[in-house]
Structure 1
Amino acid sequence: MPHSPEDKKRALNRIKRIQGQCEGIQRSLEAGADCAPILMQMAAVRGAMNSLMAEILDSYIREEFAGKLREESENGADIDELAKLVRSYFK
């Protein structure tokens, strides 16, 4: 969980946008809209959720493992490498 006020606010704003997108999908389904636009919106929601998950996971890695990894790494490059690797799985 992001602990700084700015990070927490940014994460909450993102989840609210995702929630709005999901509500839009629900309205489209209820209205009987065409499948293609609904599927595109669903893909956008999935991408947004993956991006948020990567951001929160990055924050977790940096907060929980930074001290442990820094003991073995002089400049924190291992932390950056790990965060980059994890983000690559969500793309």
Structure 2
Amino acid sequence: MSHTSRQKDKLIARVRRIKGQLEGIERALEADAACVEVLRQIASVRGAVGGLTAEVMEDHLREHVLDAETDAERYQGGEEMIEVIRAYMK
């Protein structure tokens, strides 16, 4: 079982909150809200996505690297994390 499956409800709740924040940005833009208000909302979404990313990354490291049953699984988990970090840093 994947670690994301065990925490699925928690992760989906976070995604739904982010979705609500994005919809708030859309409403603000449609209502011609002040730039600073839209920027604050964007910053909030960015922070929320960053928090979600960090949580899933941490869970991956714990499950697939620190608690891996074999060296091969540990190596694969580490390589996957390197790939994700490289994509994230672009």
* Post-superposition offset of 1:63: 1.1
* Post-superposition offset of 1:69: 9.2
| TM-score, L = length of structure 2 | 0.69
Provide the residue aligned with 2:11 in structure 1.
11
Q: CA RMSD in A?
A: 2.2
CA deviation map 1:30-60 (0-9, x unaligned): 1111011110011000000000000001111
Provide the residue aligned with 2:76 in structure 1.
none
* Post-superposition offset of 1:3: 2.8
Q: Which residues of 2 match residues 11-90 of structure 1 at below 5 A?
A: 11-68=11-68
CA deviation map 1:63-91 (0-9, x unaligned): 111245997xxxxxxxxxxxxxx9xxxxx
Higher RCO, 1 vs 2 (CA within 8 Å, ≥6 residues apart): 1
List, as ranges, runs of 4+ consecutive aligned residues in structure 1 with deviation greater than 6 Å: none
Matched residues, number: 70
Within 1, Cα distance between the matches of 2:38 and 2:16? 19
Within 2, Cα distance between the matches of 1:61 and 1:23? 32
| TM-score, L = length of structure 1 | 0.68
Within 2, Cα distance between the matches of 1:20 and 1:48? 11
